[in-house]
Every structure is written in C-alpha cells, then in structure tokens.
Amino acid sequence: MEELRATERTRIRRMPKRGSYDRALINSIIDQALFCHVGFVHEGTPFVIPTLHVRVGDRIYVHGSAASRMLRTAAGGVPMCVTVTHIDGIVLARSAFHHSVNYRSAVILGVAEEVVGDAEKNRVLEALVNHVVPGRWSEARPPHPKELAATSVLGLPITEASAKVRPGGPVDDEEDYALPVWAGNIPIRLTAGAPIPDERLGPGVAISPSVAGYRLPGERGDRNGTSG
Ligand SMILES: Cc1cc2nc3c(=O)[nH]c(=O)nc-3n(C[C@H](O)[C@H](O)[C@H](O)COP(=O)(O)OP(=O)(O)OC[C@H]3O[C@@H](n4cnc5c(N)ncnc54)[C@H](O)[C@@H]3O)c2cc1C
C-alpha cells in the first residue's frame, strides 16, 4: 500500500496514532464524500469555501464559475488546502472533557492548476457529475461551449496529504468508569431522501435510472473505501 511522505506541514501532532498517510485511505475518504472545503488566502484574508469535488487518479478537482473568487485565486497558483470531512458519530464520555466525535477526514495541501481545453474540462466535469449522481452525465444535456467557458476547473495533485480517523467509543479516565453516567456513542450517517419531481416536469417523463435507488457516495461501497 502506497504511503505519502509526511511533510513538516502535514505532520499530525495531536493524537498521531489516528493519523495516516496511506494513499488508499486518503482516496476512500475523498471518494466517499459529497463535498469538501477549499481554503486559500486572498489579499491577506483567509477563506474556507464549501464546494463539490471529484477525485480522478491522483488529483482532486473542484469547479465553479470562472468569475468566483475561489476559482480565480486558486487558478493563479495560490497555495490551497482542501479538507474532506465525514462525521460518523458523537462520542459521549462520563466526563465532559472526554466527549468527542468519530470522524474520517483528509487534508490535501498544494498548488492547484487550472484545467485547460474543452475535452479535458468535459472529462473532469463528467467525472464530477457522475461522482455526485452516477450515470447522470449521459442523461443530461451536455454543456454548451458558452457554459464550458463560464466554468473553471482546478486540479490539485494528491501528493502532500494526511488522513485522520477516530473510531470507537469513549475513553474515560480510569476513576470515572464507576460514575453512573451513560456513556457510548450515537452513530451519524448522511442519507438521501426520496426524490421530489420538479413541478415543471413534462407529462410522462419517467424517473431517470440514475435517480431511482440513488445512493450517496458514502453509501455505495463501490470504491476502495472503509465504512460509509
Ligand atoms: C468533525 C471533527 C471535529 C473535530 N473537533 C475537534 C475539536 O473540537 N477540538 C480539537 O482539538 N480537534 C478536533 N478535531 C481534530 C482536528 O481536526 C485536528 O486534528 C486537531 O485539532 C489538531 O491536530 P494537530 O495539532 O495534530 O494538527 P495541526 O498542527 O493543526 O495540523 C498539522 C497537519 O496535520 C494534519 N491534520 C490535522 N488534523 C487533521 C485532520 N482532522 N484530518 C487530516 N489531517 C489532519 C494536516 O496535514 C495538518 O496540516 C476534529 C476533527 C473532526 C474531523
């Protein structure tokens, strides 16, 4: 299994036993998430913006309006930090101090490059749409050249990255285990509800195969993942 090299920037200092530089684990955390947060500094102010993403090979891609600050800033070779977070549970300990959460998260650092050329842009956008809803790209109208021109796509190599995973129950101080306080954990899972048809749907338009039985990335279990 390939290990990424821990750098001074990605070295996990607190609870390092929960940290990992395993590429397969980092990939699975990225793949099982619907969205990420992109951090960057613009004119001295830090911004952290939530956005959709997709991983293709050893790169994570984000997209958006060519006019957005996030895309304009990051395309200019500005250092970026992409964070992907799954919250898997609330951990209740006997003491307030030892309460925690179960999670899987990945942090990817680097300098993003803009994807140029319509063919490559289309390829990444297809992967992005199909990451969110598998098979949807071929059901929907493809982008017009004008729509493509209005869309920026950035790719960040997954070379300087870390993962952190907290599973399991609470860890209390030994003397607290005798306290009559309920302890354990509450699992948390993001799920999709039943699809709601658009009110302007034409008569006789059947539900698309991609929508019927839709499952979120973390519920698919079709990629090299851990749990959902
Ligand atoms: C949902 C959630 C809630 C959390 N709540 C708290 C909280 O309330 N208080 C708290 O102290 N911590 C919390 N954490 C953990 C937090 O993310 C950091 O790991 C921790 O605060 C700082 O760790 P550090 O000092 O080792 O890292 P830092 O010195 O801050 O970072 C050094 C490097 O370690 C890596 N790293 C740090 N954290 C993570 C991570 N979570 N995932 C992947 N790589 C990481 C990055 O590469 C980073 O550049 C939470 C995590 C999650 C996912």
CA angle 20, 26, 28 (to 5 degrees): 130
Question: In this predicted structure, what is the pLDDT of residue 7?
Answer: 96
C-alpha dihedral, 204 to 209 to 213 to 216, nearest 10°: -120
Q: Which residues, in sequence order, are CB contacts of 14 under 8 Å at separation 6+?
A: none
Range of lowest pLDDT (43-52, 75-84, 201-210):
75-84
Model-wide pTM > 0.75: yes
pLDDT confidence of residue 101: 98
Which class is 16-219 in CATH? Answer: mainly beta
| pLDDT higher than threshold 60 for residue 20 | yes
pLDDT band at 225 (very low <50, low <70, confident <90, very high): very low
Q: Tell me if 13 CB under 6 Å of ligand 1.
A: yes
pLDDT tens, residue by residue, 43-71: 899 999 999 999 999 999 999 888 888 88
pLDDT(228) > 90? no
Ligand 1 atom index nearest CA of 16: 26
Adjacent-strand bridge partners of 25: none
Indicate whether residue 95 lines ligand 1 (CB < 6 A): no
Say what the pLDDT of residue 223 is.
Answer: 44
pLDDT confidence bin for 226, thresholds 50/70/90: very low
Mean pLDDT of the chain: 93
CA dihedral 185, 191, 193, 198 (to 10 degrees): 140
Res 222: pLDDT:
52
Two structure tokens written together for 46: 């830090």
Task: Please give the pLDDT value at position 153.
Answer: 94
The pLDDT tens digits for 113-136 are 999 999 999 999 999 999 999 999
Ligand 1: which of 105, 158, 186, 189 to mutate, most ligand atoms within 8 Å of CB? 105
* CB distance 6 to ligand 1 below 6 Å: no
> Looking at residue 46, what is its pLDDT?
94
Lowest mean pLDDT among 49-53, 74-78, 150-154, 191-195: 74-78
**What is the pLDDT at residue 175?**
98
- The verdict on the CB of residue 179 being under 6 Å from ligand 1 is no
